[in-house]
């Protein structure tokens, strides 16, 4: 069955932008062709004033205010709706972000907010490691490894057999300890059993007690130590995966052991250590805030004071060797199937591909403003920017060079509630907060949202593309041959399902969910946007951002991929201030607004009283003039970008169910990894948007 992914992308392109400003001119006071990009003066032939807008919700929405978290991390977070004066409201920052995202995408400007992430991916079972060894650290950068046991495939039994170790099914793994070099615990395993995998080893103290009473028992036991991966935080996961075995590693070489002796040690390549530490840090960074520490390690493995995981002497790891003689270890991990870094085939491990690398491969001017940038894009000119460091190497490279920044010249107000639309289409004035909310009949009016555990980057089938649009296997993702799809936009779900954002499993994964009271669909808000010193193209871009196309709806707030947050924006009045006249003798006493446009359809006596001054201004700009201003920007938007925006913003293009990828018959609230595993064979990719409509994916 086909379905729509909850998000798609507006493409990014090489150059093809509108009204870039050279950094060199900006440093010189902005007195270039675009000399209006400043706050110290008003420029000729530029626009200042106010744009009054109306926002109406089509679906319920939540814009978060105060949050209340469970101190024990077990219950959902309660998110209050943002409010002003005891009624729901929309923060100015939310409106600003909604408008700036449209200007950025349409003008192909730099991505002003973009986190630079290092990506990793899970390896396939075919890439599993089958050898286990012990890390022996000889110096700060000198890591060795003691080989301990190996697994190999035996075609006679069509299974894995081991040498040097055995799998044990421990009834109570929590009673046993993984080997630690500074607390060496050895165990003894009886030889005199039919199935040694079901027999639990005994401690050294119990072994000595037995052989003291029966000396001949000494030959019935083999000495070794344990590698225990069981962890109380992983019980549910172990049960789901059917994992029930731990490892007993035989070691009879001396009563005290000589595990760190020089003989027999293998050299561990620095690349292997670096890869392990980078991946371990990535997993720690990506864990849920209240979730267990990642990556999972053998019980008893120690972390640093900052919870980072660094390899120490005595750590038991899976490993792989690189050379034919097997003397150089080039990969280590705590699991046989772990992860690898996204990077080019010839790139060093300490230079993996990051988010910035993928966008820089399209155009270096697309990443957030940094010292390497040569241009300031129109969205940055309008909404402002703060210089960041593109790479860590640049943090202190130019300490004497001033960091560039610019405050925006677009200043939205908060969106204030005006009225609620009745079922017959008329408007009513609400008398209380409760009237404005979409209340759940149960749970004290709260709605428990579905968990937002979406597939995150890199997920190549969704986030990246090749020039020929062929499928990208995870191991083949790199910034040399692959490109990002673009800027993420959420599509509008016009599902017939009642409240699709509400969870159907209220008792599962509660700590990952939020309790909210959304604002109703049909809530009408008004806000205004004060602007100053805008060029014709910038004013046109602002008007375009409010209503890019006739059939265009915006998204805002929490739960956008779940169906919340579809809203309609309309400009209702444009009021321009003639700055030169205002500073003249006659202008001091004249009307504030010179040129005025009021919507012949939407401007009426129901406009909120806070716009009393605007109500008095007489319109002298025909409707066609506003459209002419808007076209100064819209006509410059590339056809590819325009097509993607118009398709994504129109709910009528949604022809199939909207949900994250799941396999056939799977509950939509379950994790999506099963679809991605199946897709390694099916090789589906998220197609580019065209005028033909919104692409779909298929269940697998």
pLDDT of residue 348: 82
Residue 278 phi, psi (nearest 5): -65, -45
Q: Is residue 286 predicted with pLDDT exceeding 90?
A: no
Print burial letters for 673-686: b (CB count within 10 Å at least 16), e (below 16): eebbebbeeeebbb
Q: Most distant CA pair in the chain: distance in Å?
A: 115
Instruction: Tell me the two tokens of residue 339.
Output: 């992860």
| Residue predicted with more confidence, 322 or 682 | 682
| Residue 233: pLDDT band with limits 50, 70, 90 | low
Please count the other Cβ atoms lying within 10 Å of the Cβ belonging to residue 16. Answer: 14
Q: Is residue 480 predicted with pLDDT exceeding 80?
A: yes
Chain centre to alpha carbon of residue 608: 39
Kindly give the pairing relationship between strand 375-376 and strand 131-139: unpaired
Instruction: Tell me the two tokens of residue 571.
Output: 């400009």
Residue 499 φ/ψ region, left for φ over 0, alpha for ψ in the -120 to 50 degree band, beta for the rest: left
pLDDT in tens, 325-334: 788 999 999 9
Please count the other Cβ atoms lying within 10 Å of the Cβ belonging to residue 509. Answer: 15
CA angle, residues 488, 494, 498, in degrees to nearest 5? 120
Mean pLDDT (the chain) is: 88
3-state helix, strand, coil split of the chain in percent (to 5) is: 25, 25, 50
**Mean pLDDT to the nearest integer, 44-64:** 95
Whether cis (ω within 30° of 0) applies to the bond prior to 458 is: yes
Strand-pairing partners, residue 427, are 421
Q: Is residue 540 predicted with pLDDT exceeding 60?
A: yes
Nearest CA-CA partner of 272 in 231, 317, 232, 228: 317
pLDDT in tens, 111-166: 999 999 999 988 888 889 999 999 999 988 899 999 999 887 777 766 667 788 88
**Mean pLDDT to the nearest integer, 249-261:** 74
Q: Which 8-state DSSP code applies to residue 380?
A: H
Q: What gap in Å lies between CA 260 and CA 135, rounded to an integer?
A: 9
Q: Is residue 240 predicted with pLDDT exceeding 80?
A: no
**Mean pLDDT to the nearest integer, 30-55:** 85
| Residue 289: pLDDT band with limits 50, 70, 90 | low
| Residue predicted with more confidence, 566 or 246 | 566
Instruction: Tell me the two tokens of residue 473.
Output: 């296997």
Most confident of 210-219, 225-234, 570-579: 570-579
Helices 536-546 and 92-107: crossing angle in degrees, nearest 10, is 110
Say if CB 523 and CB 85 are below 8 A apart: no
What CA–CA distances, in Å, run from 426 to 99, 236, 422, 423, 568?
28, 53, 5, 7, 17
pLDDT of residue 605: 83
* Percent of the residues in the chain that have a pLDDT greater than 90, as a whole number: 58
Q: What gap in Å lies between CA 489 and CA 405, rounded to an integer?
A: 27
Nearest CA-CA partner of 434 in 443, 442, 424, 445: 445
**Mean pLDDT to the nearest integer, 642-670:** 91
On whether the pTM is more than 0.85, the answer is yes
pLDDT of residue 307: 77
Nearest CA-CA partner of 53 in 455, 298, 416: 416
Instruction: Tell me the two tokens of residue 393.
Output: 């190497």
Q: What gap in Å lies between CA 653 and CA 649, rounded to an integer?
A: 9
pLDDT of residue 292: 65
**Mean pLDDT to the nearest integer, 387-401:** 60
**DSSP symbols for 292-359:** --SS---TT----TTS-----TT-EEEEEE-STTS-EEEEEESSSS-EEE---TT--TTS--BHHHHH
* Percent of the residues in the chain that have a pLDDT greater than 70, as a whole number: 93
pLDDT of residue 195: 77
**Mean pLDDT to the nearest integer, 608-612:** 93
Residue positions counted in the chain? 700
Q: What gap in Å lies between CA 125 and CA 333, rounded to an integer?
A: 14
Say if CB 403 and CB 369 are below 8 A apart: no
pLDDT of residue 30: 57
| Residue 194: pLDDT band with limits 50, 70, 90 | confident
Please count the other Cβ atoms lying within 10 Å of the Cβ belonging to residue 305. Answer: 5
pLDDT in tens, 68-89: 998 888 899 999 999 999 999 9
Q: For 282-296, 471-485, 528-542, which range has the lowest pLDDT when averaged over its residues?
A: 282-296
Half-sphere exposure at residue 83, Cβ-oriented, CA atoms within 13 angstroms: 16
pLDDT of residue 91: 97
pLDDT of residue 427: 93
User: 535 in helix, strand or coil?
Assistant: coil
pLDDT of residue 301: 80
| Residue 559: pLDDT band with limits 50, 70, 90 | very high
Q: For 34-43, 388-397, 626-635, which range has the lowest pLDDT when averaged over its residues?
A: 388-397
Instruction: Tell me the two tokens of residue 394.
Output: 């640049």
| Residue 388: pLDDT band with limits 50, 70, 90 | confident
């Amino acid at each position: 069955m086909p379905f729509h992914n909850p998000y798609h992308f507006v493409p990014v392109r090489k150059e093809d932008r509108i009204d870039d400003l050279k950094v060199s001119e900006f440093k010189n006071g902005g007195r270039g062709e675009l000399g209006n990009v400043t706050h110290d003066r008003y420029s000729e032939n530029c626009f200042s004033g106010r744009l009054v807008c109306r926002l109406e919700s089509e679906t319920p929405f939540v814009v978060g205010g105060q949050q209340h978290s469970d101190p024990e991390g077990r219950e959902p977070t309660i998110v209050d709706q943002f409010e002003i004066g005891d009624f729901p409201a929309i923060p100015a920052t939310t409106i600003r972000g909604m408008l700036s995202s449209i200007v950025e995408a349409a003008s192909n400007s730099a991505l002003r907010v973009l986190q630079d992430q290092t990506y990793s991916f899970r390896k396939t079972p075919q890439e599993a490691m089958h050898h286990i060894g012990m890390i022996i650290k000889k110096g700060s950068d000198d890591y060795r490894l003691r080989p301990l046991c190996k697994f190999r495939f035996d075609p006679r039994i069509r299974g894995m057999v081991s040498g040097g170790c055995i799998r044990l099914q421990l009834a109570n793994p929590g009673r046993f300890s993984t080997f630690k070099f500074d607390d060496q615990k050895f165990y003894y395993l009886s030889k005199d059993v039919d199935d040694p995998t079901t027999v639990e080893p005994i401690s050294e103290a119990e072994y000595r007690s037995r052989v003291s009473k029966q000396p001949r028992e000494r030959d019935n036991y083999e000495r070794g130590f344990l590698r225990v991966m069981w962890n109380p935080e992983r019980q549910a996961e172990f049960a789901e995966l059917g994992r029930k075995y731990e490892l007993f590693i035989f070691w009879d070489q001396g009563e005290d052991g000589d595990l760190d002796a020089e003989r027999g040690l293998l050299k561990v390549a620095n690349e292997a250590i670096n890869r392990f530490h980078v991946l371990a840090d990535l997993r720690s960074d990506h864990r849920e805030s209240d979730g267990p520490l990642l990556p999972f390690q053998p019980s008893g493995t120690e972390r640093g004071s900052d919870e980072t995981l660094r390899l120490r002497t005595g750590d038991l790891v899976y490993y792989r060797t690189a050379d034919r003689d097997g003397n150089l270890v080039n990969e280590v991990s705590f699991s046989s199937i772990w992860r690898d870094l996204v990077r080019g085939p010839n790139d060093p491990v300490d230079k993996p591909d990051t988010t910035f690398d993928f966008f820089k491969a399209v155009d270096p001017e697309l990443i957030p403003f940094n010292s390497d940038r040569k241009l300031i894009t129109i969205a940055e000119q309008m909404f402002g920017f703060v210089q960041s460091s593109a790479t860590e190497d640049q943090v202190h490279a130019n300490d004497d060079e001033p960091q560039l920044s610019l405050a925006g010249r677009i200043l939205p107000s908060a969106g204030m509630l005006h009225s609620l639309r009745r079922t017959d289409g008329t408007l009513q004035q609400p008398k209380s907060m409760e009237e404005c909310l979409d209340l759940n009949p149960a749970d004290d009016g709260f709605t428990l949202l579905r968990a937002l555990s979406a597939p995150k980057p890199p997920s190549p089938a969704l986030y990246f593309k090749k020039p020929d649009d062929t499928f990208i296997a995870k191991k083949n993702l790199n910034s040399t041959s692959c490109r990002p799809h673009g800027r993420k936009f959420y599509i509008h779900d016009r599902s017939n399902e009642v409240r699709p954002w509400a969870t159907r499993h209220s008792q599962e994964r509660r700590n990952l969910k939020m309790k909210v009271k959304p604002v109703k669909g049909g809530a009408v808000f008004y806000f205004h946007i004060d602007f100053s010193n805008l060029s014709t193209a910038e004013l046109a871009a602002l008007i375009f951002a409010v209503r890019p196309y006739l059939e265009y709806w915006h998204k805002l707030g929490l739960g956008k991929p779940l169906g919340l947050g579809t809203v309609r924006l309309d400009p209702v009045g444009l009021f321009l201030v003639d700055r030169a006249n205002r500073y003249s003798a006659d202008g001091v006493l004249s009307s504030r607004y010179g040129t005025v446009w009021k919507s012949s359809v939407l401007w009426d006596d129901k406009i909120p009283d806070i716009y009393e001054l605007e109500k008095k201004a007489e319109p002298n700009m025909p409707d066609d003039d506003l459209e002419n201003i808007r076209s100064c920007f819209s006509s410059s938007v590339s056809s590819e970008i325009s097509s993607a925006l118009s398709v994504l913003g129109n709910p009528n293009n949604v022809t199939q169910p909207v949900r994250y990828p799941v396999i056939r018959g799977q509950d939509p609230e379950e994790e999506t990894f099963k679809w991605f595993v199946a897709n390694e064979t099916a090789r589906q990719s998220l197609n580019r948007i065209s005028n033909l409509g919104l692409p779909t994916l298929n269940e697998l």
